[in-house]
Amino acid sequence: MKLVHTAAAVLNQTPLDWRHNEANIREALKMARAKGVRLLCLPELCLTGYGCEDAFHSANTHQRAWALLRSLLPETRGMVVSFGLPILHQNSLFNCAALAVDGQLAGLVAKKFLAGDGIHYEPRWFKPWPAGVCDEWISPTGEAFPIGDLHFDVGGIRMGFEICEDAWVANRPGAALALHGVDIILNPSASHFAFGKLEVRKRFVLEGSRAFGVSYVYANLLGNESGRAIYDGGALIATGGKLIAAGPRFSFRDCQLTTAILDVDATRMNQARTASFQPDLEGDTRLRIRVPFGWPQSGVPQQAAPPPAGKNWENSSHLKEEEFLRAEALALFDYLRKSHSCGFVVSLSGGADSAAVSCLVALSLELALNELGESALKTKLSYCRDLPAALTPRVLARSLLATAYQATANSGPATRAAARAVAEALGAQHFELDVEAIHQGYLRAIETAIGRKPDWQRDDLALQNIQARVRSPGIWMLANLRNALLLATSNRSEAAVGYATMDGDTSGGLSPIAGIDKAFLRHWLRWLETSGPEGLRPIPALAAVNQQAPTAELRPADRHQTDEDDLMPYDVLDAIERAAIRDKRSPLEVFELMRVQFPARTAQQLGCWVERFFKLWCRNQWKRERYAPSFHLDDENLDPKTWCRFPILSGGFETELAELRKHIGPVEPLS
């Protein structure tokens, strides 16, 4: 048998952080060598980091990447290792996988299909490499190496590449590689997390290994690499349509390996037994690079991935709830340490959004401590000089999470008590700030300036907004005093219709839940109250939050303000948003869909809500442009900088809404 001890690495890299990225790669090489691995696949663009953005167009970036690769080559003696880096060739930039064999660079494979949708922007920086083309690249230090659509014969074992997006397209390069008799396909990826995406990855890995008759090795990035995208890791190794190894996701460690022993003879004989397999006997031998290498015999080939030991959250019936928690937790922890912040501050109103953000922070710290232990966690947060000597989850939360309830005359006892209860349950340091005097000071100043007293009949919106805005300076000051990161608490449903006060409740350097809808967030909080994540505890104190109807609590109590009275039911709002924004349907089409989804609602109600949504959506694009950065969680993101672009000024769907009104008759005017 020809056996190959293989590993796929997941790395928590940071764009342009050369020393950090190098240290992680060296650790992966060290771990692989210690385990007897001979073939190691590292993630896409692991030398530079994937999210370098326009810094890819800096000569310094690719020159440093090349220098780093050269310094790492000696560490690959006795191994075969793929590295990811940008390569400038013929005045064009290419996203490449560099294959090192026994300390020498064998060649560079350039990515053929570039990710250019959603949060990806690769065509801005890179060019796609044409199929069947190879060339010679001259490095900055003068050496010549083959580059292009290559595959390799390394000591009698053939291997090729599908680089991330290459595997997601119909015309996958793997089909051509199979015709060339490739034994192993390496896939170095930078595949961000989204709900349900892991199953798609598994399908293309398994189907690639089956249809192409090969072993397939998938590596990925890990963590919050550059601010918005979250990488979940989840390395995969498959052979002949069977998954033989799968790595953990959402780890707080900087480097993890997933290993397997591949039986090359077995995949070759499977191809030989397949009647439909016809090798390309007239293939272009220029595309094959031969490199001598001695493969030592080792171990026993793996047949299938072992089942997870004991209870595992990946098998939970509440997978989306678990994924949301663990994605946010890792993203928050990485954002904390990579921004060198010494904790988090949340304006805790007693409502669902701020309670969710506070819980995510506390659980993030607990998950990190549980996995890393005190010593490793303190190493990651070594710039925070005031961490207590002995750490428990509550001690860590009190050190790194501060919350503040900021009351005006319109704040009620229920929200005050709920905020206090949640903060106590989490172990946060909690403050109560009375900002009514500041609020009244602004009212008196404006009354003097305009010569009249603002009243709720004429000045409703202005009177609501000033209360939200007077809460901003104090919470910012608290964050500054603690050298901490202020978290905004707006959710995606509010962002869609602008139901937020700019420079008020949107204040913050990061908006961690701006990518999630309010209906799911409320469901998640009920789950967290009663069940909770695998391996952790539920938080019963959330009952004080969950039993309330969501309210901005900015009007006097006798007006009984609720969010859904101001807007519409959140389940309807979220359904309209998906149809209108994600699916790009017209107002009339959205209305017809809503009639099917919500048959208990009248046509007049639904027509009113559809019109309200479209008008508020168009009116509030400027707010979405100003939101603090948020995390990408699914394909319904509204972030205009990475996903959902819309003009700040537009016609506001006036023609389309007129057609809707004509179809159903007059609807309630939008105030």
Sole residue written with tokens 């006997």: 281
Residue 579 shares a structural domain with residue 432: no
Domain membership of residue 478 (yes or no) is yes
Q: Which of 291, 324, 357 is the last residue of a domain?
A: 291
pLDDT of res. 275: 67
pLDDT of res. 86: 98
pLDDT over 90, % of the chain: 85
pLDDT of res. 552: 65
Residues 6+ apart with CB under 8 A from 160: 109, 150, 151, 152, 173, 174, 177, 180, 182, 184, 185, 186
Sole residue written with tokens 């349509």: 241
Domain membership of residue 224 (yes or no) is yes
Identify the weakest region by mean pLDDT among 263-272, 381-390, 472-481: 263-272
Residue 664 shares a structural domain with residue 572: yes
E strands within 395-535?
401-407, 429-434, 485-487
What average pLDDT score do residues 90-109 get?
A: 98
Residue 551 shares a structural domain with residue 572: no
Domain membership of residue 134 (yes or no) is yes
Identify the weakest region by mean pLDDT among 359-368, 386-395, 465-474, 555-564: 555-564
pLDDT digits (tens, 9 = 90+) for 314-341: 999 999 999 999 999 999 999 999 999 9
Residue 632 shares a structural domain with residue 528: no
Residue 534 shares a structural domain with residue 621: no
- Round to whole Å and give the CA distance between 480 and 191: 35
Q: What is the CATH number of the domain that holds 76?
A: 3.60.110.10
Domain membership of residue 303 (yes or no) is no
State the pLDDT confidence band at 551, using cuts at 50, 70 and 90.
Answer: confident
State the pLDDT confidence band at 127, using cuts at 50, 70 and 90.
Answer: very high
* Helix count and strand count (H, E) for the chain: 21, 20
How much is the mean pLDDT over the chain? 93
Exposure string (b/e) for 297-327, b if CB count within 10 Å is 16 or more?
eeeebbeebeeeeeeebbeeebebbbbbbbb
- Round to whole Å and give the CA distance between 606 and 588: 11
Identify the weakest region by mean pLDDT among 497-501, 560-564, 611-615: 560-564
Residue 510 shares a structural domain with residue 624: no
Full DSSP string of 98-163: EEEETTEEEEEEEPSS---STT--HHHH--PPPTT-EEEEE-TTS-EEEEES-EEEETTEEEEE--
Q: Could you say which DSSP state residue 580 is in?
A: I
Q: What is the pTM of this model?
A: 0.94
pLDDT digits (tens, 9 = 90+) for 305-314: 665 555 689 9
CB 374 within 8 A of CB 383: no
- Round to whole Å and give the CA distance between 273 and 163: 28
pLDDT of res. 310: 54
pLDDT of res. 287: 85
State the pLDDT confidence band at 304, using cuts at 50, 70 and 90.
Answer: confident
Question: Residue 447 is part of which domain span?
Answer: 313-560
3-state secondary structure of 473: helix
Domain membership of residue 299 (yes or no) is no
What average pLDDT score do residues 133-159 get?
A: 96
Q: What is the largest CA-CA distance in the chain?
A: 92
Q: Which of 503, 530, 560 is the last residue of a domain?
A: 560
pLDDT digits (tens, 9 = 90+) for 29-88: 999 999 999 999 999 999 999 999 999 999 999 999 999 999 999 999 999 999 999 999
State the pLDDT confidence band at 666, using cuts at 50, 70 and 90.
Answer: low
pLDDT of res. 538: 97
- Round to whole Å and give the CA distance between 258 and 326: 20
The tally of domains found in the chain comes to: 3
Domain membership of residue 306 (yes or no) is no
Evaluate if residue 188 carries a pLDDT over 70. Answer: yes
Residue 433 shares a structural domain with residue 531: yes
Pull the structure tokens for residue 408. 């005006």
pLDDT of res. 280: 74
Domain membership of residue 232 (yes or no) is yes
Pull the structure tokens for residue 90. 């013929």
Nearest to 118 by CA among 643, 640, 652: 643
Residue 336 shares a structural domain with residue 280: no
Residue 287 shares a structural domain with residue 427: no
What average pLDDT score do residues 256-269 get?
A: 94
Pull the structure tokens for residue 288. 């094959």
pLDDT of res. 118: 82
Q: Which of 533, 560, 587 is the last residue of a domain?
A: 560
Residue type, 516: I
Residue 553 shares a structural domain with residue 636: no
State the pLDDT confidence band at 446, using cuts at 50, 70 and 90.
Answer: very high
Beta bridge partners of 66: none
Q: How far is CA 281 from CA 233, 252, 387, in A?
A: 38, 47, 65
Residue 525 shares a structural domain with residue 590: no
| Alpha helices, H only, 427-562 | 436-450, 460-481, 492-497, 518-530, 543-546
Domain membership of residue 474 (yes or no) is yes
3-state secondary structure of 280: coil
pLDDT digits (tens, 9 = 90+) for 552-592: 666 776 777 787 888 899 999 999 999 999 999 999 999 99
| Alpha helices, H only, 389-435 | 393-400, 413-426
pLDDT of res. 671: 52
pLDDT over 70, % of the chain: 96
Q: What is the CATH number of the domain that holds 504?
A: 3.40.50.620
Kind of pairing, strands 429-434 and 401-407?
A: parallel
CB 645 within 8 A of CB 638: no
- Round to whole Å and give the CA distance between 562 and 213: 59
Question: Greater confidence, 603 or 310?
Answer: 603
Residue 126 shares a structural domain with residue 86: yes
Q: What is the CATH number of the domain that holds 639?
A: 1.10.10.1140
pLDDT digits (tens, 9 = 90+) for 395-443: 999 999 999 999 998 888 999 999 999 999 999 999 999 999 999 999 9
pLDDT of res. 600: 95
